[in-house]
Structures are given as C-alpha cells and as structure tokens.
C-alpha cells in the first residue's frame, strides 16, 4: 500500500468515526435541552437522588450528577457550575460529584460509541459504575476522616 492509500484509508476511517460520534452526541444534547425542567426529568432526578445518596450526595447534587453521568463532563460540568452558583453546593458535594464523575461520566454517549465499534454495553457500563461507586465511597470516607481528625 502506498503512503497516499494509507492516508486515504486513515482519513476515510476518521471521517466515518467522526460522523458516528456526531450522529450520537447531537441528538442526545437536543433531547436533554428539551427534557430538562419537565416533570419526567424531575421524577428521574428524584430516583437518581435516592441512589446517589449512598455515595454521600444530597438531593441538590442529583441533577448535575445525573447529567454528567449520562452525557459527559463538558455538559455535566456546565450544569455543576450553574448549580453551584444557583444553590451554593458545598465543597463536600462538589468533591463527591467530581470524584464520581471523573470515573463514570458520559455513560450514554460513551456506551453508544463503544457499541458502535463492537463492545458490550453491559460490561462497559457495569464495570465503570461499580468501580466509580467503590472509589467514590472510599475517598469520601477517607476525606471525612481527615476532616474529623484535623478539624478542617
């Protein structure tokens, strides 16, 4: 294969992948913009809040954590910043959200992309969720012990 052929194949593959990512991400963002603030969204956030309270997150942290969990850090980070400004989320909540989301952000987007290239969605989501919960719990307990010990 010539260098020109190799470059052509690379660009065709990259273009195809870029199109797949675009076709997944843009509709997700549009649906989220339309869905946020509706009654079904509030019900989903309420159910999510009951789950994440075991990680040490309160009700006010549920919506930004859910958005970051489903759609990624770029969009979720914006929601977190917005909610910190609106609701004055404490440092502890932001620490727990950031810890959790650093390991398990963009589950919908990433899973669709991984499935598009042949991965098992159950393994991708399951492993990330369990790992993120365990690490978040461990860091939350450790941080609280430091705060108690040193009175921070």
- Domain extents for the chain? 3-150
Closest to 63 in 3D by CA, of 101, 27, 117: 101
- How many other C-beta atoms can be found within 10 angstroms of the C-beta atom of residue 82? 12
The sign of the torsion formed by the CA atoms of 83, 87, 88, 92 equals negative
* Predicted structure pTM score: 0.70
pLDDT class for 12, splitting at 50, 70, 90? Answer: very high
Residues 57-66: tens digit of each pLDDT:
988 889 889 8
The pLDDT score that the predictor gives to residue 47 is 95
Instruction: Decide: 73 and 109 in contact? Cβ < 8 Å.
Output: no
Tens-digit pLDDT profile for residues 80-94 = 888 888 876 888 888
pLDDT of the residue at 130: 92
CB atoms within 10 A of CB 145: 10
Contact 108, 70 (CB under 8 A): yes
């Amino acid at each position: 294969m010539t260098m020109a052929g190799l470059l052509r194949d690379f660009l065709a593959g990259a273009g195809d992948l870029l199109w797949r990512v675009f076709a997944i991400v843009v509709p997700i963002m549009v649906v989220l913009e339309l869905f946020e603030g509706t009654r079904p969204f509030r019900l989903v956030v309420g159910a999510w809040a009951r789950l994440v309270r075991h990680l040490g997150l309160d009700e006010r942290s549920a919506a930004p954590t859910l958005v970051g969990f489903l759609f990624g850090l770029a969009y979720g980070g914006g929601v977190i910043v917005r909610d910190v400004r609106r609701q004055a989320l404490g440092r502890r909540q932001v620490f727990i959200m950031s810890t959790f989301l650093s390991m398990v952000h963009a589950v919908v987007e990433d899973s669709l992309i991984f499935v598009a290239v042949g991965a098992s969605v159950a393994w991708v989501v399951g492993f990330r969720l369990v790992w993120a919960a365990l690490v978040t719990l461990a860091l939350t307990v450790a941080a609280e012990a430091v705060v108690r010990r040193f009175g921070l």
